[in-house]
Structure 1
Amino acid sequence: MSGPLLSVIVPVHGVESCLRQCLESVLREAGPAVEVVAVDDASPDGCPAVLDRYAARDPRVRVVRLASNVGLGRARNAGLAAARGEFVWFVDGDDWLPAGSVPAVLAALRDPGAPDVLLLDHIRVHEPDGRVRLDPNSRLLRGVTGAFTLAERPGILAAQHAAWNKVVRRSTLLASGIRFRPGFYEDGPFSHALLIAAPSIGVLDRVCYHYRQRAQGAITGTVSDRHFEAFEQYEQLMVTLDGLGEAAAPYRGEVLRLVVDHLLVIAGNPGRVPPARRGEFFHRIAEFRRRHLPPGGYPAPAGVAGVKHRIVARDAFRAYATLRHAYRLLGLLPRARRTPVTHVPIPAAPIPAQRSAPPARLNR
């Protein structure tokens, strides 16, 4: 192999306070098998100077400079175009990797049976107090060994839909034509399409990524009309699935369920959609669901989530608003009990999936 085994692509914009921690966490244990492709997305702070210093003293670091700010998705695309590694890993400039992550990933990639997409576990680290939380869907990564196809484990589609928890064979990604789109919520369409297109998938069941939850500045905590961009992202996902043809057909129902789940999270978060436009956002969810519902519908989620899906199927915003208000009132005490803790135990044993009677299907 003439190039590096792994290209770590780091988009950089306005993250000067975090950037050194990010770069050091990648480089300190990487060795010569890793290159860092840092994409300066016209950062307005001291990030360009930081990148220049790292590139001057470490030949593993290359800097791609963009003439204007293009956003996270297109900055990742620029890094992918410059990458030389057999595999690529998208690591955001304000996040970091815990000790041991890079050697563990490299060991998995050197295995003769290395998959096209390697899924990694992560934790969310909240500022400013450092509280951490394990993602609920991390249970899907437990007890999984060897490479598999999505047909063998379709439930893996529900794993955290992010770019940074996946190490991808570069040739597979380039051949798929899947890229990031500009705008908010670029990770979901990328993740779902990638898992469907990947010839093989694997799991590295260890926390390899620290996802920083910033108190200010994150799009998930900013009230803005730009949250409507989620619909544009997911419309493009459906176009991508059309392009994948029969390979995507078995997963259209599950993908739609996951998309509706995500759109409902956006709608229900008081820090995202402006209150005056929440009804409009809800009606857009219902319209999106109606247009993309496959024949036979999809399995109804259990509990409150299933109720919400049925309300969306009826496009009943008043019922949704009433349920949302009641759920928040009743949920105050449980939320207080679920305060994140500063240590998250990672279970070593597999967590068995909950089984019940076959779910009803939402096909209206």
Structure 2
Amino acid sequence: MSLGQTGTTPNSPRISLVIPVYRVQGYLRACLDSVLGQSFTDFEIIAVDDRSPDSCGLILDEYAARDSRVRPLHLEENQGIGKARDLGVRQARGDYIFFLDSDDTLADGALAAVAERLEQTADPDILLVDHVRTYWWNRVQGSAAREMLAEAGPDVFTALERPQFLTMFTVVWNRLYRREFYLEGGFSFTDGIYEDALMVYRTMLSAERIACLPQVCVEYRQRRKGNSLRTPGRQHFAVFEQYERLFAFLDERPHLDPVRPLIFERVIDHYLFLLFREERIHPRDRAEFFRRASAHFHRFKPAGYVRPQGSLGVRFDLLARGSYPALVAARTVADARNHLRKRAAKARVGLGRKAYDQLYRMHLRRPIDENLVVYSAYWNRGVSCNPKAIHEKARELAPHLRGVWVIRAGAEHTVPEGVDFVVARSPRYWEVMARAKYLVNNVNFPDEIVKRPGQVHLQTHHGTPLKQMGIDQQRFPAAAKNMSFGKMLERCDRWDWSLSSNRHSTEIWERVYPCSFENVDSGYPRNDVYFRSTAADVARIRAELGIEEGRTAILYCPTVRDYQKGFVPRLDLERLTRELGEDHVVLVRTHYFYGRDPRLQQLQDRGLIKDVSAYPVVEDLCLAADALITDYSSIMFDYACLDRPIISYVDDWEVYAKARGVYFDLLSQRPGETPGATATSEDELIEVLRSGAWKGERAAALRAAFRERFVQFDDGNAAERVVRKVFLGQEAAPAVLPLAERTPAPAPDAAALPVIPRQSTGGEDLVPADRSATA
């Protein structure tokens, strides 16, 4: 790859944003949108896909197809963030290079302010900009450099003239580099982490003209987990090599001796900062880290150096003496007490209620049962959803595993014959929760459950998100309902695997649950039945539901409203059935949060509707229905597997979107957002049904685009992929079939019996369509 030419060409942009990209699929769209949404437009984005194993490369290509300013560079091998930046610089054509991390965002108006200040200061070598830190709980914290940047005004200076600017946060994304200065200086990033510090000092000490912009330009995301700098290990010892290179740089430039004491003090302070950080240096490595830091203190200490005053000076003195035990002892008693108090509180929560404390403790000391799997769904409501499909596939592919379901008291009668179960909080419950190798749930287990080392937690989820989830709910009090987001994330910290049915979900889960799990892009196991059921299965289910032959069955599934209490009918069902006529039947299923509704019972008693709210298998209802009417329920994404008409009836869209928050606009009529015909009033809905628009060409085209986006991994083999990946430690096989090659269950008026193609996993290449399937 050739190095980009220096100088400005007539077609070169003013600013080149170089964005290294690796495992940030949950944040990448926000990053790119923050740049592309700027009022200043004379820029290019050099996005370097550092062989990211997730969907980042696809996201970059999607944005590049929409906007020519996005220029993806896909690397064949992972190079690391420094080399990725170097390769991006070689492709850059702009007057200025602006490094931006792919999980951060630009503030509104940032580039316009940058361009204006560059012009005011006659194109300095470096422009320093302000930033804020943003936290997952919506806290925004200003930088320590705010006042210093403001005091500089429009002045241009060197680091020797104003050495205080060497104390700014040592990262490359809070400054812009003039490309000619950067290339002529031969700057490049070194291997290993903490490469930013070395680059910052080298460039600052080389620049002849430095200017400041006291405006927030970068919103620095404080990721809760997943940042390489917050993963403890030996990789943090790379900081010593980086600073050895810095002092070698200083040795070759004696004219920089006036700032050497300041830099030395910054380096030693950095070592002490890292030493006791739990997310940086393992306790077993701290003594060695201390010894190396102490050696650097003596090796690089400037002549005549005077140690700082106060507690920092005490730590410097202990480091100089090489007294690690004394430094450990110098940590304050208050910090130790706070730490112990937090640990004790967490332990009390983790060991269950007091009545079961001793019993649970006993089982936690027993060995883990490598062949035991605990399943639960919908807060122990019964055997259903993705965990059920996984359980049944595990019986087939991993018969050595024993599955036990957790069921709430009073729901025992719902458990299918032959399925082992325990009642929540019973004595055996504490045993299986303490000893199971695998924990599978579509929601979270209670706070009191301790996840032991060696246990494996699979979070299957129970829907594709239209409404905002996880930490995104913080902006919507009606949805949050006094939720403790800290506690929620502690529960999510137990996840080892997170299951997804499409890339949209994968991106959302990764961002709104900032925890250290791996994604399983397998599809939803509960949806396998939609590709494995036959015409006979559909006919059988309709007969069981009492749907007469020849009648069109419409399934109506409204979801819960966070801003309302109880089930509030949004549709005059009596009028709807009257308008549809005798050749239609309406199946009504309310959300499981609601109990039985007497009004629905009355309509059913009159023969106007079929209330299927208590029907145990929602997948059967979808198979039986010719069409679906819903609002914001995630059932639309599952029903899309069947490639049958979907009607969005959203009479309260604006209220719902503001109260609950949504990720896209159902009413936009944009491909991939609207699943079919839409209606915002009862009259519109009836007209959609009467006119046939619900099954017309426009609705079919929208449904096809919706399926392209959301039915990405569902192909009838999701459960097998999960079992092989999580339980058997194999590749997630078989590979996902292309959408065009999948054959969903026939609609009720179809007669053909399909054969479902499967990619070989060592057995048959084709599975007969009449193979029995379970929902």
* Fold conserved between structures, TM > 0.5: yes
Aligned identity (percent) is 37
Q: Give the superposition deviation at 1:47.
A: 0.8
Q: In the alignment, is residue 27 of structure 1 matched against residue 32 of structure 2? A: no
What is residue 275 of structure 2 aligned with on the other side?
267
1:228 to 237, 243, 267: 237
What does 1:1-364 correspond to in 2, within 5 Å? Answer: 1=8, 2=10, 3-29=12-38, 31-127=40-136, 129-145=137-153, 146-243=155-252, 245-297=253-305, 299-326=306-333, 328-329=335-336
Matches of 1:237 and 1:92, distance apart in 2: 23
- When residues 137 and 279 of structure 1 are mapped into structure 2, their CA distance, relative to the original with a 3 A threshold, is farther
- Counterpart of 1:318, as a letter, is P
Q: Give the superposition deviation at 1:290.
A: 1.1
* Counterpart contact for 1:70–1:182, Cα < 8 Å: no
CA deviation string 1:17-61 (max 9, x = no partner): 111111111121254421111111001111111111221221211
- Counterpart of 2:184, as a letter, is A
* Counterpart contact for 1:114–1:147, Cα < 8 Å: no
Structure 2: 5+ residue stretches without partners: 1-7, 340-473, 475-775
* Mean CA deviation greater in 149-158 or 35-44: 149-158
- When residues 327 and 203 of structure 1 are mapped into structure 2, their CA distance, relative to the original with a 3 A threshold, is farther
CA deviation string 1:188-221 (max 9, x = no partner): 1111111111111111001111111111111332
User: Normalising to structure 2: TM-score of the pair?
Assistant: 0.41
Matches of 2:307 and 2:181, distance apart in 1: 33
Does the residue aligned with 2:331 lie in a helix, a strand or coil? helix
- When residues 131 and 117 of structure 1 are mapped into structure 2, their CA distance, relative to the original with a 3 A threshold, is same
Matches of 1:331 and 1:242, distance apart in 2: 44
- When residues 116 and 330 of structure 1 are mapped into structure 2, their CA distance, relative to the original with a 3 A threshold, is farther
- Counterpart of 2:201, as a letter, is H
Q: Give the superposition deviation at 1:7.
A: 0.6
Q: Give the superposition deviation at 1:151.
A: 2.1
* Counterpart contact for 2:14–2:95, Cα < 8 Å: yes
Matches of 1:132 and 1:175, distance apart in 2: 37
Matches of 2:13 and 2:255, distance apart in 1: 31
Q: Give the superposition deviation at 1:266.
A: 0.7
CA deviation string 1:137-162 (max 9, x = no partner): 44432311221121221111101101
User: Normalising to structure 1: TM-score of the pair?
Assistant: 0.86
- When residues 233 and 95 of structure 1 are mapped into structure 2, their CA distance, relative to the original with a 3 A threshold, is same
**By percentage of residues, which structure has more helix?**
1
* Counterpart contact for 1:36–1:60, Cα < 8 Å: yes
CA deviation string 1:66-117 (max 9, x = no partner): 1111111111111111111111010000000111111111111222533211
* Counterpart contact for 2:46–2:71, Cα < 8 Å: yes
- Counterpart of 2:168, as a letter, is A
- When residues 295 and 327 of structure 1 are mapped into structure 2, their CA distance, relative to the original with a 3 A threshold, is farther
Matches of 1:64 and 1:175, distance apart in 2: 23
- When residues 331 and 247 of structure 1 are mapped into structure 2, their CA distance, relative to the original with a 3 A threshold, is farther
* Counterpart contact for 2:44–2:69, Cα < 8 Å: yes
- RMSD of equivalent CA atoms: 1.9
Q: How many residues align?
A: 330
Matches of 2:247 and 2:338, distance apart in 1: 34
* Mean CA deviation greater in 135-144 or 151-160: 135-144
Q: Give the superposition deviation at 1:296.
A: 1.9
Matches of 1:39 and 1:327, distance apart in 2: 46
- When residues 250 and 177 of structure 1 are mapped into structure 2, their CA distance, relative to the original with a 3 A threshold, is farther
